[in-house]
Structure 1
Protein backbone atom coordinates (compact mmCIF):
# COMPACT_ATOMS: atom_id res chain seq x y z
CA UNK A 1 0.00 0.00 0.00
CA UNK A 2 1.19 3.49 -0.84
CA UNK A 3 2.36 5.59 2.09
CA UNK A 4 2.39 9.34 1.69
CA UNK A 5 5.88 10.83 2.08
CA UNK A 6 4.93 14.43 2.80
CA UNK A 7 3.09 14.43 6.10
CA UNK A 8 2.55 17.12 8.71
CA UNK A 9 5.23 16.93 11.41
CA UNK A 10 5.87 18.57 14.77
CA UNK A 11 9.23 19.95 13.60
CA UNK A 12 9.88 23.64 14.26
CA UNK A 13 9.22 26.00 11.35
CA UNK A 14 11.55 28.63 12.86
CA UNK A 15 14.33 26.08 13.35
CA UNK A 16 13.93 24.98 9.74
CA UNK A 17 14.16 28.57 8.46
CA UNK A 18 17.15 29.29 10.70
CA UNK A 19 18.96 26.39 9.04
CA UNK A 20 18.51 27.81 5.52
CA UNK A 21 22.11 28.51 4.50
CA UNK A 22 21.49 31.59 2.33
CA UNK A 23 20.80 34.73 4.35
CA UNK A 24 18.73 36.21 1.49
CA UNK A 25 16.59 33.05 1.22
CA UNK A 26 16.20 33.02 5.02
CA UNK A 27 14.93 36.64 4.95
CA UNK A 28 12.57 35.78 2.09
CA UNK A 29 11.34 32.75 4.05
CA UNK A 30 10.47 34.96 7.04
CA UNK A 31 8.67 37.41 4.72
CA UNK A 32 6.70 34.55 3.16
CA UNK A 33 5.98 33.09 6.60
CA UNK A 34 4.37 36.37 7.67
CA UNK A 35 2.50 36.82 4.40
CA UNK A 36 1.10 33.27 4.27
CA UNK A 37 0.20 33.32 8.00
CA UNK A 38 -1.64 36.65 7.74
CA UNK A 39 -3.38 35.78 4.48
CA UNK A 40 -4.56 32.29 5.45
CA UNK A 41 -5.14 32.76 9.18
CA UNK A 42 -3.60 29.28 9.68
CA UNK A 43 -0.49 28.60 11.75
CA UNK A 44 2.55 27.36 9.84
CA UNK A 45 3.35 23.66 10.10
CA UNK A 46 6.21 21.62 8.69
CA UNK A 47 5.16 19.06 6.07
CA UNK A 48 7.91 16.55 5.54
CA UNK A 49 11.44 17.83 6.04
CA UNK A 50 11.24 21.01 3.95
CA UNK A 51 7.72 22.33 3.20
CA UNK A 52 6.06 24.98 5.34
CA UNK A 53 2.31 24.48 4.93
CA UNK A 54 -0.81 26.33 6.04
CA UNK A 55 -4.13 24.62 6.71
CA UNK A 56 -4.82 21.14 5.37
CA UNK A 57 -7.24 19.10 3.32
CA UNK A 58 -7.88 15.44 2.70
CA UNK A 59 -8.05 14.39 -0.95
CA UNK A 60 -9.28 11.18 -2.53
CA UNK A 61 -8.88 10.48 -6.23
CA UNK A 62 -11.08 8.26 -8.38
CA UNK A 63 -8.21 5.74 -8.38
CA UNK A 64 -8.68 5.36 -4.63
CA UNK A 65 -5.40 7.14 -3.83
CA UNK A 66 -5.92 9.50 -0.91
CA UNK A 67 -3.94 11.58 1.53
CA UNK A 68 -3.54 14.90 3.29
CA UNK A 69 -1.82 18.03 2.07
CA UNK A 70 -1.46 21.68 3.06
CA UNK A 71 -3.87 24.14 1.44
CA UNK A 72 -0.91 26.32 0.48
CA UNK A 73 2.76 26.41 1.36
CA UNK A 74 6.31 27.20 0.39
CA UNK A 75 9.83 25.87 0.66
CA UNK A 76 13.04 27.92 0.49
CA UNK A 77 15.02 25.43 -1.56
CA UNK A 78 18.65 25.86 -2.56
CA UNK A 79 18.02 26.71 -6.22
CA UNK A 80 14.67 28.52 -6.01
CA UNK A 81 11.80 29.12 -3.62
CA UNK A 82 8.93 26.73 -4.30
CA UNK A 83 5.38 28.01 -3.75
CA UNK A 84 2.57 25.48 -3.47
CA UNK A 85 -0.90 26.43 -4.70
CA UNK A 86 -3.91 24.41 -5.85
CA UNK A 87 -4.04 23.35 -9.47
CA UNK A 88 -7.15 22.95 -11.58
CA UNK A 89 -8.63 26.43 -11.24
CA UNK A 90 -8.39 28.72 -14.28
CA UNK A 91 -8.17 31.77 -11.99
CA UNK A 92 -4.69 30.59 -10.96
CA UNK A 93 -3.37 31.01 -14.51
CA UNK A 94 -4.84 34.51 -14.82
CA UNK A 95 -3.21 35.55 -11.54
CA UNK A 96 0.15 34.07 -12.53
CA UNK A 97 0.18 36.30 -15.63
CA UNK A 98 0.38 39.31 -13.27
CA UNK A 99 2.61 37.65 -10.65
CA UNK A 100 6.07 38.75 -11.76
CA UNK A 101 9.21 36.76 -12.53
CA UNK A 102 8.50 33.05 -11.97
CA UNK A 103 8.36 29.64 -13.59
CA UNK A 104 5.57 27.15 -13.02
CA UNK A 105 5.44 23.39 -12.93
CA UNK A 106 2.32 21.27 -12.53
CA UNK A 107 1.84 21.97 -8.83
CA UNK A 108 4.61 24.40 -7.94
CA UNK A 109 5.44 27.97 -8.77
CA UNK A 110 9.14 28.80 -8.53
CA UNK A 111 10.64 32.19 -7.75
CA UNK A 112 14.23 33.34 -7.20
CA UNK A 113 13.34 35.95 -4.57
CA UNK A 114 10.32 37.72 -3.10
CA UNK A 115 11.44 41.03 -4.65
CA UNK A 116 10.72 39.52 -8.12
CA UNK A 117 6.98 39.12 -7.48
CA UNK A 118 3.90 41.20 -6.75
CA UNK A 119 2.94 40.64 -3.09
CA UNK A 120 -0.70 41.60 -3.73
CA UNK A 121 -0.96 38.94 -6.45
CA UNK A 122 0.69 36.45 -4.09
CA UNK A 123 -2.03 37.17 -1.52
CA UNK A 124 -4.67 36.72 -4.24
CA UNK A 125 -3.09 33.38 -5.26
CA UNK A 126 -3.14 32.23 -1.64
CA UNK A 127 -6.81 33.24 -1.23
CA UNK A 128 -7.76 31.63 -4.55
CA UNK A 129 -6.02 28.38 -3.66
CA UNK A 130 -7.54 28.12 -0.18
CA UNK A 131 -11.05 28.91 -1.44
CA UNK A 132 -10.76 26.50 -4.38
CA UNK A 133 -9.57 23.63 -2.16
CA UNK A 134 -12.14 24.31 0.56
CA UNK A 135 -14.87 24.24 -2.11
CA UNK A 136 -13.46 21.12 -3.79
CA UNK A 137 -12.79 19.31 -0.50
CA UNK A 138 -15.48 20.56 1.93
CA UNK A 139 -13.72 19.14 5.00
CA UNK A 140 -10.65 21.31 4.35
CA UNK A 141 -9.52 23.41 7.30
Structure 2
Protein backbone atom coordinates (compact mmCIF):
# COMPACT_ATOMS: atom_id res chain seq x y z
CA UNK A 1 0.00 0.00 0.00
CA UNK A 2 1.29 3.42 -0.98
CA UNK A 3 2.04 5.62 2.03
CA UNK A 4 1.62 9.38 1.64
CA UNK A 5 4.72 11.34 2.65
CA UNK A 6 2.96 14.68 2.86
CA UNK A 7 0.83 14.46 5.97
CA UNK A 8 -0.33 17.15 8.34
CA UNK A 9 1.90 17.22 11.41
CA UNK A 10 2.49 19.23 14.58
CA UNK A 11 5.78 20.85 13.52
CA UNK A 12 5.94 24.60 14.09
CA UNK A 13 5.17 26.75 11.04
CA UNK A 14 7.04 29.71 12.57
CA UNK A 15 10.08 27.56 13.36
CA UNK A 16 10.07 26.27 9.77
CA UNK A 17 9.93 29.82 8.36
CA UNK A 18 12.67 30.98 10.75
CA UNK A 19 14.92 28.25 9.32
CA UNK A 20 14.55 29.48 5.73
CA UNK A 21 18.07 30.49 4.66
CA UNK A 22 17.30 33.58 2.59
CA UNK A 23 16.11 36.62 4.60
CA UNK A 24 14.06 37.80 1.56
CA UNK A 25 12.37 34.39 1.21
CA UNK A 26 11.71 34.36 4.95
CA UNK A 27 10.08 37.81 4.69
CA UNK A 28 7.97 36.62 1.74
CA UNK A 29 6.99 33.48 3.67
CA UNK A 30 5.62 35.65 6.48
CA UNK A 31 3.71 37.79 3.94
CA UNK A 32 2.24 34.64 2.38
CA UNK A 33 1.43 33.24 5.82
CA UNK A 34 -0.64 36.37 6.55
CA UNK A 35 -2.34 36.37 3.12
CA UNK A 36 -3.24 32.66 3.17
CA UNK A 37 -4.41 32.75 6.82
CA UNK A 38 -6.56 35.83 6.27
CA UNK A 39 -7.98 34.59 2.96
CA UNK A 40 -8.78 31.01 4.02
CA UNK A 41 -9.72 31.66 7.65
CA UNK A 42 -7.72 28.51 8.43
CA UNK A 43 -4.78 28.09 10.76
CA UNK A 44 -1.47 27.25 9.07
CA UNK A 45 -0.23 23.68 9.56
CA UNK A 46 2.90 21.94 8.40
CA UNK A 47 2.35 19.19 5.82
CA UNK A 48 5.38 16.99 5.53
CA UNK A 49 8.71 18.66 6.21
CA UNK A 50 8.32 21.72 3.95
CA UNK A 51 4.73 22.60 2.95
CA UNK A 52 2.66 25.14 4.88
CA UNK A 53 -0.96 24.14 4.29
CA UNK A 54 -4.32 25.66 5.10
CA UNK A 55 -7.46 23.62 5.69
CA UNK A 56 -7.70 20.07 4.42
CA UNK A 57 -9.82 17.77 2.33
CA UNK A 58 -10.06 14.03 1.79
CA UNK A 59 -9.83 12.83 -1.79
CA UNK A 60 -10.54 9.45 -3.31
CA UNK A 61 -9.73 8.68 -6.93
CA UNK A 62 -11.46 6.14 -9.15
CA UNK A 63 -8.27 4.06 -8.90
CA UNK A 64 -9.00 3.64 -5.20
CA UNK A 65 -6.08 5.86 -4.15
CA UNK A 66 -7.15 8.21 -1.38
CA UNK A 67 -5.66 10.58 1.13
CA UNK A 68 -5.74 13.98 2.75
CA UNK A 69 -4.23 17.18 1.42
CA UNK A 70 -4.29 20.89 2.27
CA UNK A 71 -6.88 23.00 0.44
CA UNK A 72 -4.10 25.44 -0.46
CA UNK A 73 -0.54 26.01 0.64
CA UNK A 74 2.95 27.22 -0.13
CA UNK A 75 6.56 26.32 0.41
CA UNK A 76 9.51 28.74 0.41
CA UNK A 77 11.97 26.49 -1.43
CA UNK A 78 15.58 27.37 -2.27
CA UNK A 79 15.03 28.09 -5.97
CA UNK A 80 11.48 29.46 -5.99
CA UNK A 81 8.41 29.72 -3.81
CA UNK A 82 5.91 26.96 -4.61
CA UNK A 83 2.22 27.80 -4.34
CA UNK A 84 -0.28 24.95 -4.15
CA UNK A 85 -3.75 25.43 -5.61
CA UNK A 86 -6.35 22.96 -6.88
CA UNK A 87 -5.64 21.51 -10.31
CA UNK A 88 -8.37 20.62 -12.78
CA UNK A 89 -10.18 23.91 -12.30
CA UNK A 90 -10.52 25.94 -15.51
CA UNK A 91 -10.90 29.21 -13.58
CA UNK A 92 -7.33 28.79 -12.27
CA UNK A 93 -5.88 29.32 -15.76
CA UNK A 94 -7.96 32.47 -16.28
CA UNK A 95 -6.77 33.94 -12.98
CA UNK A 96 -3.13 33.09 -13.70
CA UNK A 97 -3.22 35.32 -16.81
CA UNK A 98 -3.27 38.39 -14.55
CA UNK A 99 -1.15 36.92 -11.73
CA UNK A 100 2.22 38.41 -12.62
CA UNK A 101 5.59 36.76 -13.09
CA UNK A 102 5.26 33.00 -12.50
CA UNK A 103 5.77 29.57 -13.98
CA UNK A 104 3.60 26.50 -13.57
CA UNK A 105 4.32 22.85 -13.04
CA UNK A 106 1.88 19.98 -12.96
CA UNK A 107 0.36 20.98 -9.63
CA UNK A 108 2.35 24.01 -8.49
CA UNK A 109 2.65 27.65 -9.38
CA UNK A 110 6.18 28.98 -8.86
CA UNK A 111 7.13 32.56 -8.06
CA UNK A 112 10.46 34.20 -7.25
CA UNK A 113 9.04 36.72 -4.81
CA UNK A 114 5.74 38.21 -3.65
CA UNK A 115 6.63 41.56 -5.25
CA UNK A 116 6.38 39.86 -8.69
CA UNK A 117 2.70 39.01 -8.31
CA UNK A 118 -0.68 40.68 -7.90
CA UNK A 119 -1.75 39.93 -4.32
CA UNK A 120 -5.44 40.46 -5.18
CA UNK A 121 -5.15 37.75 -7.85
CA UNK A 122 -3.39 35.53 -5.30
CA UNK A 123 -6.36 35.98 -2.95
CA UNK A 124 -8.74 35.15 -5.83
CA UNK A 125 -6.72 32.00 -6.61
CA UNK A 126 -6.91 30.95 -2.96
CA UNK A 127 -10.69 31.57 -2.79
CA UNK A 128 -11.23 29.76 -6.10
CA UNK A 129 -9.14 26.75 -5.08
CA UNK A 130 -10.90 26.38 -1.72
CA UNK A 131 -14.36 26.72 -3.32
CA UNK A 132 -13.47 24.22 -6.09
CA UNK A 133 -12.15 21.61 -3.66
CA UNK A 134 -15.05 22.00 -1.24
CA UNK A 135 -17.46 21.55 -4.15
CA UNK A 136 -15.51 18.59 -5.58
CA UNK A 137 -15.03 16.88 -2.19
CA UNK A 138 -18.09 18.01 -0.21
CA UNK A 139 -17.93 15.57 2.71
CA UNK A 140 -15.38 17.44 4.78
Shorter-chain TM-score bucket reads: over 0.9
| Structure-1 residue corresponding to 2:136 | 136
Equivalent runs, 1:2-41 vs 2, <5 Å: 2-41=2-41
1:106: how far off? 1.2
Once the two structures are TM-superposed, the CA of residue 92 in structure 1 deviates from its matched residue by 0.2
Pairing 1:110–2:110 present = yes
Distance in 2, matches of 1:26 and 1:34, equals 13
Aligned-residue offset at 1:139: 2.2
Aligned mates of 1:50, 1:139 — CA distance in 2: 27
Where structure 2 has 5 or more consecutive residues not aligned to the other structure, the ranges are none
CA distance in 2, matches of 1:21, 1:44: 20
| Paired residues, number | 140
Task: Specify the SS of the correspondent of 1:67.
Answer: strand
How far does residue 20 in structure 1 lie from its aligned partner after superposition? 0.2
State how far apart, in whole Å, the 1-side matches of 2:125 and 2:52 are. 16
**Could you tell me the TM-score, scaled by structure 1's length?**
0.99
Q: CA RMSD in A?
A: 0.4
Displaced runs of 4+ in structure 1, greater than 3 A?
Answer: none
Note if 1:91 corresponds to 2:116: no
Q: Deviations over 1:90-115 (max 9, x none)?
A: 10000000000000011100000000
Structure-1 separation of matches of 2:22 and 2:68: 30
Residue 67 (structure 1) shift: 0.4
SS of corresponding position for 1:73? strand
The corresponding residue for 2:55 is 55
- Structure 1 residues without counterparts, runs of 5 or longer: none
Find the counterpart in structure 2 of residue 65 from structure 1: 65
**What SS does structure 1 have at the residue aligned with 2:8?**
coil
